Amino acid sequence: MVVRAEDLLQKIQKEQEDKLQSIQVSKNIEVDVDCGNLLACDTNSMDTQRLRSEKEVYLKTLAREGAQLLFNEIWKLPIERIQEAVIAKLPPPTTVLPREKPVPKPKQPTKWEEYAKLKGIRKLKKGRMVWDDESKSWKPRWGYKRANDDTKEWVLEVPRNADPNEDQFEKKMKEKKERIAKNDLQRLRNIARRTGKKVPGVGQTAVAQENKSKTELESAFHVAKQATASLGRFQETLREEKNVKKRGQKRKFEAVTQKSNTEKERQLNILNQMYKKQPQLNITKAVNKEVQDGEVRKPKAGKRKPAKSTKAVKGGKRPKRGKR
């Protein structure tokens, strides 16, 4: 079969043109492409007849055309090669997408932040490394091997008005613990002001009570009323206050001085439980066993071997063979 070179070249050229035409998509309305979000929005009307007749083929064609338009725009972006991968630098997105979660509420400022804002105090960031005069080197401002560490001093100067017999090292450690406790308490108060909860060991902080329900307010009122030495017995009642019955259950204790029947029964029950754990003695089985052992050990006349006993002990076991 003879093949002309011109026909072969035309065939190859046509295949290349078909490949080039496959990346070109024509739409009546231009597709909005957002490369920042890798999003392509096609607002063209759909062919309902073709959608009903060949649904899957038509939807795949639309998806392929949208993806092709998106990749055409991506290849127009500046591209760089990192090792064996080609990476395109995406521009900032233009389409506003909805958030998955609501916008977080701004945190309530602390007392220090309010005071600093009122006085115009600005927080300046301090450097981490500080010059240490003793070692003549740069050391961290805080933490391990910090500069100007006064906790490792072997001697401390006693102030003029202080007691000369007072331990200055112990006083210094006590002041440090008090500072830590004060800072921790202030931190808890700031959290309580934001969340409306109680600070452990301090009580209710000055927060708004608007979100409290009626039942919560009533329970808090009764708890506060009973927080006296007499458990609220002599407290005055309000005009529309309801009489609250006993809250909780009282603990009951057994009599200590007098012995009652209930105590005797309780002690007997304890002894019975203890004896149940010990093995039980079967008197009938023990007597039968002793009788069989006595018959076997009884001496016979002559030097004949003792006859084997055919009696069996209760339980299916044969007696032991006697000695000569």
Residues 88-127 have pLDDT tens digits of 889 998 888 888 888 888 888 888 889 999 999 988 888 8
Spatial distance between the Cα atoms of 201 and 189, rounded to a whole number of angstroms: 11
pLDDT grade, residue 13 (50/70/90)? confident
pLDDT higher than 50, residue 314 = no
Q: What is the DSSP letter of 151?
A: G
Which pairing describes strands 39-41 and 32-34: parallel, antiparallel, or unpaired? Answer: antiparallel
Which helix H or strand E contains 140, and what residues bound it?
A: strand 137-140
Predicted structure pTM score: 0.31
pLDDT higher than 50, residue 312 = no
Interior angle at CA 75, CA 69 and CA 77, nearest 5: 115
**3-class SS of residue 269:** helix
Interior angle at CA 313, CA 311 and CA 319, nearest 5: 70
Are the beta carbons of 172 and 152 closer than 8 angstroms? no
pLDDT grade, residue 211 (50/70/90)? low
Domain assignments of the chain as residue spans, ordered by start: 5-88, 140-198
| 9 to 22, 205, 265: CA distances (angstroms) | 20, 89, 114
pLDDT higher than 50, residue 128 = yes
Determine the length of the chain: 324
